Structure 1
Amino acid sequence: MEAAEPGAAGRTLATEAVVDLDAVAHNAAALRSAVAGGAAGGGAQLMAVVKADGYGHGIVETARAALAGGATWLGVAHVDEALRLRAAGVDAPVLAWILTPGGDLRPALEAGVDVSVAAGWALEDVVAAARATGRTARVHLEVDTGLSRGGAAPGEWPGLLDAVAKHVADGTVQVRGTWGHFASADEPELASVAAQLDAFEAALATVRAAGVDPGLRHHANSAGALFVPAARYDLVRCGIAVVGLSPAPQLASAADLGLVPAMTLRARLAHVRHVPAGAGVSYGHTFTTARASALGLVPLGYADGIPRHASSAGEVLVGGQRRRTAGRVCMDQFVVDLGDSSDAADVVAATAAAGDEVVVFGPGTAGEPTAQDWADAAGTISYEIVSRLGGRVPRRFTGTAGVPA
């Protein structure tokens, strides 16, 4: 049954992203099983990373489903994302790791949110919030092991730890974890992967030398968790794998990894027209029909997250057949070449009509393109394809994993 558009009784949605919550739970369980041999001896815990609205899948729903599948932690980029989880009643441990100077961290501490500390100013802000609220701040210490992005640089690390140790001693701060992040875990054979683990081990030794318990050790993202066993430590942080996409498709597909893509993006043809050979299509006429063609108009565009870089390259499923985009993807729509309208054997071209279903991407089990296929067409990664999906596209959730009674 099609979902009704809010406030539009009697009409069906022109577009929708269907998210299978049971697939999310399945993926979390598969990842827990994959990292059962963690360096801590009893296996690594799973942090489900649900930043960026759960990679476009819905932050609250994805978090609940991942917890139902065995995740024990949640990870987000910004404190506001963590507070959104708390407002929805999600009470699992959650870490927010991007802070900016002068931010008000009192709501985070009051909501029991862990925050990352990677610089002296961040520690000062955390301590100020702890004193203002009367709560002990729970922090994870981030060290830069070679990504050169976030984290304390090696030269800054000892000084930061000395300051942390003082606040641990006075009860203002509790260190719950120590962490770093890979630059190239999707290429595990690179020397930088082993070098980063060596740097992380050295950083952990410095934490202990400062008299601080490092807490949960975590360095692995999805690729690290799956392809770098030595990086599993006490906790792994998985985002793209939780929603069923491979973090390293050149090494293993989602199916190879036992993952199920959770999102299916659907639309309905808004218009079908028949044009002769030689017709220019969409802006700039970068595509010209080679024969008499049926063209379908899909009401999704780059404002909705369809990558313009996939113009005349991305494919969709219409009438059980893969069909390619024709010409440039526009802000609100793109055109699909439905086939040779002069060929009686081309059933799709002959019978396509406005209102017919278009599957832009999905798990691939019914022949439809996957998010990875669109990533390949656009020269990007599947992370971008799903997380850039805009707010104009309603999400519809199926399955029962994590759904409140």
Structure 2
Amino acid sequence: MSTFPARAVVDLDAIAGNVRHLATLAPASQVMAVVKADAYGHGLVPSALAAQAGGATWLGVAQLAEALTLRASGVTGRILTWIYSPGAPLESALAAGLDLSVGAPWALTEVVAAARASGRTARVHLKVDTGLARGGMFLEDWSEVLADALRAQADGVIEVVGVWSHLASAEDVTSPITQAQLDVFVEAIARAEAGGAHLEVRHLANSAATLVNPAMHFDLVRPGLAVFGLSPVPGRTPADLGLTPAMRLEAEIMLVKRAAAGQGVSYGHTYTTTEDTLLADVPLGYADGIPRHASGTGPFDVGGRRVRIAGRVCMDQVVLDLGPDATARAGDVAVLFGPGTDGEPTAQDWAEAAGTISYEIVTRLGSRVPRVHVGTAGRPVAELARERAW
């Protein structure tokens, strides 16, 4: 049993339900649940299994290390990984049956070398930069690497099974940037197919495109944030989009005390009480991922009352001004965020308080905060692994 006085309660049934809902929005496509960054802070392996329980036939992680962790934990099915550096253990990746993104000429060279050394055919997704100017290659350079990849495919060393890209403004279906990216992506697919690629999947749609832009769905959609029930579409809530937030972050109040009017609170006394009041000390701070930018603004729910951080966020704790009539005691639960269905703040509320996005609020949650996984989709990993044979 954890002795840490706070917890992130993760509803695995909500994750599974979100995946099922996303699948209904793209009925002609497979679903890749993106569980990168420790499943957006929700816990990598349990979240991956919950996503599969909801119907995800693929999993996606950015870092190769996370893909290897999934396999080592008994997670089966197709897994794509796309961030690795020169010299990465690609033979281990191939031994684990991972699909690998190739987004640079050196990456193709190293994947081919690993395939030859291991005697295993590498499954490759060629990443084209359609306009984000981040990962992948712009179309003409991509076409040159495509030609090299198809020669390696003819030798039986690799199979080009996917073409993919990332969108810059997926939530804006009318954006000329989005349309331009779609045009480049379609051209890349045409070039790959004309050259003889063994394409199984063409994938462009992230969470936002999965939800609002069917033209981007192709064979496979690649939602991430939406899997965890948060909205990627500005101005639309999770409920608007049929999603259920999966995480509830809460902490036990460790101290309450009366303070007189005029008392400065926390470092620098940037907050001063305006009346005699009750202060509460909550054991979460910026070491746990609470944004320091939310000093004075971060919302909490204590006993059904909405309050905000009084003064600065400290490394390990924050102080709340509960008001003169509050009756809270040590051991009572303070809720930072949850689905919002009981009036508690949401991750989006925290994002607005800190001037950021909900993605950052959940993914920055520190590793010392226990993740408590609940729900029938969250059966022990070993139990699920025994039922499957990869």
TM-score for the superposition, normalised by structure 1: 0.92
Tell me the residue number matched to 1:40: none
Tell me the residue number matched to 1:399: 375
Counterpart contact for 1:68–1:402, Cα < 8 Å:
no
Tell me the residue number matched to 1:153: 138
Q: How does 1:241-252 map to 2 (within 5 A)?
A: 241-250=226-235, 252=236
Are residue 362 (structure 1) and residue 338 (structure 2) matched? Answer: yes
Looking at structure 2, the residues matched to 158 and 33 of structure 1 have their Cα atoms a distance apart, in angstroms, of: 34
Q: How does 1:229-378 map to 2 (within 5 A)?
A: 229-250=214-235, 252-339=236-323, 341=324, 346=325, 349=326, 351-378=327-354
CA deviation after TM superposition for structure 1 residue 266, in Å:
0.9
Counterpart contact for 2:159–2:198, Cα < 8 Å:
no
Counterpart contact for 2:159–2:197, Cα < 8 Å:
no
Looking at structure 1, the residues matched to 180 and 244 of structure 2 have their Cα atoms a distance apart, in angstroms, of: 32
CA deviation after TM superposition for structure 1 residue 402, in Å:
4.8
Are residue 127 (structure 1) and residue 103 (structure 2) matched? Answer: no
Counterpart contact for 1:312–1:326, Cα < 8 Å:
yes
Looking at structure 1, the residues matched to 47 and 92 of structure 2 have their Cα atoms a distance apart, in angstroms, of: 23
Q: Structure 1, residues 9-39: CA drift from partner, whole Å, max 9, x if none?
A: xxxx410111111111000000001111xxx
Looking at structure 1, the residues matched to 234 and 118 of structure 2 have their Cα atoms a distance apart, in angstroms, of: 46
Counterpart contact for 2:150–2:160, Cα < 8 Å:
no
Counterpart contact for 1:15–1:394, Cα < 8 Å:
yes
Looking at structure 1, the residues matched to 208 and 140 of structure 2 have their Cα atoms a distance apart, in angstroms, of: 28
Looking at structure 1, the residues matched to 288 and 85 of structure 2 have their Cα atoms a distance apart, in angstroms, of: 29
Are residue 87 (structure 1) and residue 63 (structure 2) matched? Answer: no
Looking at structure 1, the residues matched to 49 and 198 of structure 2 have their Cα atoms a distance apart, in angstroms, of: 30
Tell me the residue number matched to 2:6: 15
Give the RMSD, CA atoms, in angstroms.
1.1
CA deviation after TM superposition for structure 1 residue 165, in Å:
0.8
Q: Structure 1, residues 282-319: CA drift from partner, whole Å, max 9, x if none?
A: 11111111211211111000110111111111111101
Q: Structure 1, residues 360-379: CA drift from partner, whole Å, max 9, x if none?
A: 11111111101111011111
Give percent identity, aligned residues only: 59
| Corresponding letter in the other structure for 1:302 | Y
Structure 2, unaligned runs of 5 or more = 384-390
Looking at structure 2, the residues matched to 296 and 47 of structure 1 have their Cα atoms a distance apart, in angstroms, of: 43
Looking at structure 2, the residues matched to 396 and 233 of structure 1 have their Cα atoms a distance apart, in angstroms, of: 36
CA deviation after TM superposition for structure 1 residue 224, in Å:
1.1
2:26 to 27, 35, 44: 35
CA deviation after TM superposition for structure 1 residue 215, in Å:
3.0
Are residue 44 (structure 1) and residue 44 (structure 2) matched? Answer: no
Aligned length: 381
2:164 to 174, 179, 204: 179
CA deviation after TM superposition for structure 1 residue 355, in Å:
1.2
Looking at structure 1, the residues matched to 86 and 72 of structure 2 have their Cα atoms a distance apart, in angstroms, of: 24
| Corresponding letter in the other structure for 1:321 | R
Q: Report the secondary structure of 1:138's partner residue.
A: strand
* Larger proportion of helix: 2
Structure 1, unaligned runs of 5 or more = 37-42
Q: How does 1:199-218 map to 2 (within 5 A)?
A: 199-218=184-203
Looking at structure 2, the residues matched to 229 and 309 of structure 1 have their Cα atoms a distance apart, in angstroms, of: 37
Q: Structure 1, residues 200-256: CA drift from partner, whole Å, max 9, x if none?
A: 111112212333233310001101111111000000111110011011142x21011
2:183 to 192, 198, 202: 198
Are residue 167 (structure 1) and residue 161 (structure 2) matched? Answer: no
Looking at structure 1, the residues matched to 308 and 205 of structure 2 have their Cα atoms a distance apart, in angstroms, of: 37
Looking at structure 2, the residues matched to 307 and 384 of structure 1 have their Cα atoms a distance apart, in angstroms, of: 9
Q: Structure 1, residues 90-126: CA drift from partner, whole Å, max 9, x if none?
A: 1110000112112220110000000100111000110
Q: Report the secondary structure of 1:77's partner residue.
A: strand
Q: Report the secondary structure of 1:146's partner residue.
A: coil
- Structure 1 runs of 4+ aligned residues shifted over 4 Å read none
Q: Report the secondary structure of 1:219's partner residue.
A: strand
Counterpart contact for 1:99–1:116, Cα < 8 Å:
no
CA deviation after TM superposition for structure 1 residue 271, in Å:
1.0
TM-score for the superposition, normalised by structure 2: 0.96
Q: Report the secondary structure of 1:124's partner residue.
A: helix
